[in-house]
């Protein structure tokens, strides 16, 4: 592997993060405190202006969301094309995943397949989880038209799509509940962290989410930690701390530039790679976050050779995640025919869009593969 290899993902950290962190470390307060409040307020314009409840990971946000809508003992319709965190959260919440198919071009959950699962499982379904794979928002309007009449909430796993918009609205205000990840390599990082936001009709859930992220204790009435408060509903140790929030506050001003660069790389790949691959997602005219870029090889048999070729050119590419319905941990779950997943999963490969990726190097390396 060449020394100056371009990784698929990279940490984007503000140069002044350490400077901003220093006073917090010696302030005498590093747990959940004023910096968490400040970070939540700073996130609001990015997520639609509503309530923001930060937590210590995207996975925690998903478990909390499922708890808020009482998913325990029920099914959650979900996509296999995601990081295992999405679907492990369903198990953690005491629910069972029910696989819906994905669009063979975008890899996003297919609303028609959701309709079929809803028809089969009806009131045993607690929620639908859509994942904004690569940072392209799922079709939330189509999902809402399948679920709203049934009173079934849509949860957006927006781990890849912080900063994206969907039909002019910000990811974070579109779905009933939205879960963000600020893990190490995400567009916005807090080291590790996450946030839960709420659609217009679900803002009232924020208070319970705040209590549940801290064992079920109302931190606003127990500020002095007198330890006299009864706990009426058990919660989790899911809250964010002031160290993570300070890192997030340092990085937030750079997100606009990071997103612009990710979108620019994606638009360049659109133009210069489209003819070489099977039809890809048109990145340029959508407001996705493009945390990474996806292409589809025309012949699935070429994927390994393409990956090796790109690595030889100093660029890491990969499928990033394996379809979750094939993981051993889900072997006991309902198996479904998923032709869209078969098609997408065999051909898809991810290219880097981060600030350290040289788009022309990626384009010319990919073009060399096709001779
Ligand atoms: C789609 C998706 N959902 C959820 C998560 C979990 O987020 P976290 O690592 O912050 O728990 C990830 C990965 O980080 C992810 O890629």
pTM: 0.96
C-alpha of residue 167 to centroid of ligand 1, in Å: 24
Q: Which pLDDT belongs to residue 99?
A: 97
pLDDT, tens digit (0-9, with 9 covering 90-100), for 265-320: 999 998 888 777 776 766 655 689 999 999 999 889 999 999 999 999 999 999 99
Least Cα distance to 178 among 195, 163, 193 occurs for: 195
Read off φ and ψ for residue 241, nearest 5 degrees. Answer: -115, 170
Band of residue 124 on the pLDDT scale cut at 50, 70, 90 = very high
| Residues 354, 160: Cα–Cα separation, whole Å | 13
Residue-averaged pLDDT of the chain: 94
User: Is the beta carbon of 244 within 6 A of some atom in ligand 1?
Assistant: no
User: Is the beta carbon of 138 within 6 A of some atom in ligand 1?
Assistant: no
Least Cα distance to 270 among 251, 284, 290 occurs for: 284
Could you give the C-alpha distances from 316 to 31, 79, 229, 264, 357, in angstroms and in order? 37, 25, 52, 19, 10
Band of residue 222 on the pLDDT scale cut at 50, 70, 90 = low
User: Is the beta carbon of 194 within 6 A of some atom in ligand 1?
Assistant: yes
CB atoms within 10 A of CB 25: 12
Ligand 1 atom nearest 82 alpha carbon? 1
């Amino acid at each position: 592997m060449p020394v100056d290899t371009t990784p698929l993902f990279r940490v984007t950290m503000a140069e002044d993060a350490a400077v901003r962190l220093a006073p917090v470390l010696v302030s005498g307060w590093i747990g959940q405190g004023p910096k968490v409040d400040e970070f939540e307020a700073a996130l609001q314009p990015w997520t639609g202006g509503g309530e923001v409840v930060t937590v210590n990971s995207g996975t925690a946000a998903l478990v909390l969301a499922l708890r808020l809508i009482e998913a325990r003992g029920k099914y959650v319709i979900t996509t296999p094309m995601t990081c295992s965190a999405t679907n492990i959260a369903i198990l953690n919440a005491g629910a069972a995943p029910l696989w819906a198919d994905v669009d063979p071009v975008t890899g996003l959950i297919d609303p028609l397949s959701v309709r079929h699962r809803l028809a089969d499982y009806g009131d045993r379904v607690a929620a639908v989880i859509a994942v904004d794979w690569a940072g392209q928002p799922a079709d939330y309007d189509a999902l809402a038209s399948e679920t709203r009449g049934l009173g079934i909430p849509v949860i957006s796993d927006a781990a890849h799509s912080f900063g994206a918009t969907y039909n002019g609205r910000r990811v974070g205000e579109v779905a009933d509940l939205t879960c963000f990840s600020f893990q190490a390599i995400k567009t916005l990082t807090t080291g590790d962290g996450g946030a839960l936001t709420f659609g217009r009709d679900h803002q009232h859930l924020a208070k319970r989410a705040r209590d549940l992220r801290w064992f079920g204790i109302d931190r606003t009435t127990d500020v002095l930690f007198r330890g006299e408060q009864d706990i009426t509903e058990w919660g989790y140790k899911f809250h964010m701390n002031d160290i993570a929030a300070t890192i997030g506050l340092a990085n937030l001003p750079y997100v606009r530039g990071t997103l612009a660069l990710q979108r620019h790389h994606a638009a360049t790949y659109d133009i210069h790679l489209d003819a070489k691959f099977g039809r890809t997602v048109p990145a340029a005219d959508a407001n996705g976050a493009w945390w990474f870029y996806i292409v589809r090889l025309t012949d699935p048999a070429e994927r390994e050779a393409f990956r090796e070729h790109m690595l030889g050119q100093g660029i890491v590419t990969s499928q990033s995640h394996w379809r979750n319905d094939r993981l051993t941990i889900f072997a006991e779950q309902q198996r479904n025919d998923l032709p869209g997943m078969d098609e997408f999963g065999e051909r898809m490969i991810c290219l880097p869009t981060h600030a350290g990726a040289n788009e022309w190097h990626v384009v010319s390396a990919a073009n060399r593969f096709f001779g």
